[in-house]
Amino acid sequence: MSRWSRVRDQTAALIVVDMQKDFCPGGALPVPDGDRIVPTLNRYLAEARTRGMPVYASRDWHPAVTTHFKEFGGEWPPHCVQGAEGAQFHADLHLPADAVVVAKGDDPSAPGYSAFEGHTANGATLLDDLQNRHITRLYVTGVATDYCVKATALDGIRAGFDVRILRDAIAGIDLHPGDVDRALDELTRAGARVVDGFDTQQRSA
Q: Any idea which residues carry the catalytic annotation?
A: 18, 104, 148
Q: How far apart are CA 197 and CA 156, in angstroms?
A: 18
Which has the closest alpha carbon to 48: 97, 89, 12?
Answer: 12
Give Cβ neighbours of residue 205 (< 8 Å, ≥ 6 apart). 11, 134, 136
Give Cβ neighbours of residue 107 (< 8 Å, ≥ 6 apart). 66, 117
Which has the closest alpha carbon to 156: 134, 137, 142?
Answer: 137
